[in-house]
Every structure is written in C-alpha cells, then in structure tokens.
Amino acid sequence: MVWSMEDQTCLANIISRASHIRGELATCYFSPQQRVLFIATDTLALLQLRQKDPKNGSSFTSHNATVLCCQYNTRLQQVISCSEGSVVKIWDLNTGAPVSTFDCPHERSAVTCMTLDNSGNRFITGGRDGSLRKWDYSTGGCVSIIRQGADVSDEVNRCIQVDIHSNRYIISVGCDKWISIFPNSSVPVSPQSFRHREDIVSVDLWPPNLLATSSCGGEVLVWNLVSGSLFCQLGSLPSPLPSEPSDEDLNVCKVLFIPSRAPLQKTAAILVTSGPGGCIHLWNIFGGGRLFGKFSGSPQQATVTDLALGKGDILLLSVDQLGWLRIWDIAGFAQHGPETTKPTLLCNWRAHACSITSVVCVPEQQLAVTSAKDCLLRLWSHQGELIGTFGQQERWDVRKKETWRQELPEDLRVLTEEPDLQGALRSRPPSNTGIHTEVGMGLGRGGPLHSG
C-alpha cells in the first residue's frame, strides 16, 4: 500500500496478482522524476503512476500499457500508436476520436516499432519477439509476415521502408545486432544482412544507398548498401563534457538525416544523432565523417529518447527520459561548417511526467504528438499548448483553440505545485541571446515553460 505522510491516508493499494508481481517483497523505490514505483521481489517490477481526469475523477489512458511508438498518417490525418500490450490504435488527429483498434498483432508480444509505407495504405510493425508484419491500414488485416518471431533476444527496435535505385525494401534493426533488408514483397525471402557489434537501436537512409545505424554502445555507423561495406564510422565521439558522469548511458537512441540539405551534403551536417550523455550531435558523413555540432539536449543530462524534424527541416524536436519536449531552430545551423555554439531553443515544456518514447511532428499544422511510458498519447501545439490527450472523453477541434485543453492535466499539475519551483518555471531566456538559459531546470521537474 502507498500512504500519504501528510494526512495518513491510503493513496493506492497495489494488488500483486493484478500487477503480475510474484515472490517475497525485498525492497521498493519511487522515482519522483519519472513517477514510477520499482518493486523488487524475485524479479523487478515497474509500476507507472496513472493520470486521473479531473473532471470526473476517473483514471483514463490512451492505452492500457506503455505506448512505445506513434506515427502520423499525413494522407488520412490520423495518428497510429502501438503499445507494450500488443495493441495498435488509430486516432483522428483533428478530434482525438478513436478510429480503430487492432488487438494482439504480434501474438501478445509488445509492438516495439512501426512505419508507414509511402502510400499510407499499409504499415509495418516490429515486435519484441523479433517478428515483422505488414498490415492493411483500412481493414487491419495482416497482409504478410515478413519475418517470424523467434525470441526476445531478437527484439526489433526500428523498422523503415526505403526506395533504393527504384527498388523498395523493408529494413529492420534490433537486439540481434543484424541489419536485415527484405524486398517489399508478399513472398518470404532470405534477407540480406549486415552485422553490428552492439544491439542496434535506430536506423535511417540517406538516398540512394547510404544507411546510418546507431547502437546502445555509442557507435554510429554509415553503410554503403550497394557494396555492403562500411562507409564511415562516427562513433568515436569526443571526450565527455566535464560535467558529464563517467558512467553515462552510451545509448544513441536516434539517427535522423536532414533531407533538405542534400544540395549541401558535402559541406553541411546532414545527420543528427541523440546521445550519449543527453547530447545532440550533428555530423557530416563525407570525407570520413566529421562532427559539425554538439550541444546539450537536456540540462539534467537525461537520455534524449527521440528526434523529429519540422516543416522544411527548419525545426528539430527532441524529447527526453524526464518527459521534456524541446523545439530547436536549426535553420542554417552547421550548414557551412562546424559550430561552436548551440542552436536557438524556441520553446520547451514538460509534456509527460515520465520518459517520452516517441515524438512525431505534424508539419502542416505545426503540431507535435508525444507518446510515453505513462500509457498516454498527447497532442501539442509548437508553442507548448496542450490540445488534448487521446482517450479523453471530450473531443477537440484543432482549428478552434477554445476546444483545446484549458488546464494542465493532473500528472503535470502536481509537478508544478511545489513552491520552490514556481518562479523558476515562469522564467524566460534573455531575448537578446536567442539561446535558452535553462533557468531553474536542473531539478528536472515542473510544468510547461515557454520561451520566445
């Protein structure tokens, strides 16, 4: 049971059977930053504190389990989300209404990643069991099993669909350390594969044939898919910043190419990577690979878990393990050589009370969708205004601000109610610098903070 020390009331009664906790309790720990209760028995259990709807007092979530990834279907203006509970949901972006639900697409194994095809009529999912499947968007039917599931050690971390010299392929990476390439066909075939030294966590393509991958060990590699050889290695990162701990997480969670910089590819940074140590790196991959920019993506050195580009590749959205979303102006940044400063931070706010698993930009309306370990999927404006949480009872109209959420949800409001944080969270950066000073954010807590 969880008790309040102020009024000695019971806040929560945790039922071990319902929470799948087995064995004798050894110890427990509550993380206020991630709002997670860790319980150690024979195994380690993680319980996420859920949000309550202040209007009716009932608990609601977008999914019944951690939302691991989300995507935006531009053609249909719909959001797709996948969960730890092996559930895929489709939502109407403009109203927040649920459209359809697919249960157990990976036979109860978590859906760890997902990508849309170019038409938006099909999507591909990867599972914790190592399987890859293609689905019909409108019917929810499985079109083909690209790869059968085998073991949790084969977990798929990312999958993408790419066009290479007029041929279409599906590429997956994961815990088996292989880069697997499948022809986009309904006929099962043996994939071409490239080996990585560590678990691969992210992948992206620079047309027509250069593929970037990153690992949990800090390596960033670029491959030539035609020759099958290593094009360059970017993983030999400079020494950590003086303030960084020596035992920092080396995980490079995301590699992301900047497509609009193709005309300047020989002289500009065209690859963005998140990590390690809460840093964001920009690379030029030609001439052996050079670091063109490095800046802190989190003042608390929290892991930057995902990146996304805005319209015209002018904006870079980053999210971290503490639930913060930041929007950077990268127009012209590292376009003509290495930079010694950081790009302008336009806006940042606490989007979730725990780790954000993915962020997707809706460029035509300047919106952002975030998914997190709190089982929630949220829609935001680029100014940090919460439009709504998918799964709430009230519908919104993205074109009418009066229908947007007018107050912070309870999980974020609780974080802003501590008096010592009130002044800091209202602070703004000096207008003459264009660089965010990160005032009062070292504690990793608080509500939306807007700048500019």
Q: If you average pLDDT over residues 163-184, what whole number do you get? A: 89
For residue 290, pLDDT over 90 is answered with yes
What is the band of 122 on the pLDDT scale with cuts at 50, 70, 90?
Answer: very high
Same domain? For 184 and 285 the reply is yes
What is the band of 192 on the pLDDT scale with cuts at 50, 70, 90?
Answer: low
Same domain? For 204 and 332 the reply is yes
pLDDT, mean over the chain? 82
Same domain? For 77 and 221 the reply is yes
Domain end (from 391, 418, 442): 391
Same domain? For 221 and 295 the reply is yes
For the chain, give the percent of residues with pLDDT over 70.
79
Same domain? For 230 and 378 the reply is yes
Domain of residue 88 covers 67-238+247-391
Same domain? For 15 and 95 the reply is no
Residue 255 token pair? 């590699």
Q: Which CATH number fits the domain that encloses residue 303? A: 2.130.10.10
Residue 103 lies in a domain: yes
Cα dist. 239→27, 57, 88, 277, 294 in Å? 37, 50, 41, 11, 12
> What is the secondary structure of 375-440 as a DSSP string?
S-EEEEETTS-EEEETT-SS---TT-GGGS--S--HHHHHHH--HHHHHHHT----TTT-S---TT
Residue 72 token pair? 């935006």
How many domains is the chain built from?
2
Q: If you average pLDDT over residues 356-366, what whole number do you get? A: 96
Residue 396 lies in a domain: no
Residue 227 lies in a domain: yes
For residue 202, pLDDT over 60 is answered with yes
Contacts 24+ apart (CB under 8 A), 236-239: 237/276, 237/281, 237/291, 238/291, 238/294
For residue 443, pLDDT over 50 is answered with no
Query: Per-residue pLDDT tens for 75-97?
Result: 999 999 999 989 999 999 999 99
Residue 101 lies in a domain: yes
Q: If you average pLDDT over residues 29-52, what whole number do you get? A: 75
For residue 281, pLDDT over 60 is answered with yes
CA atoms within 13 A on the CB side of 194: 22
For residue 209, pLDDT over 60 is answered with yes
Residue 253's nearest CA partner among 164, 321, 299 is 321
Query: Per-residue pLDDT tens for 391-421?
Result: 999 999 999 999 999 888 888 887 765 433 3
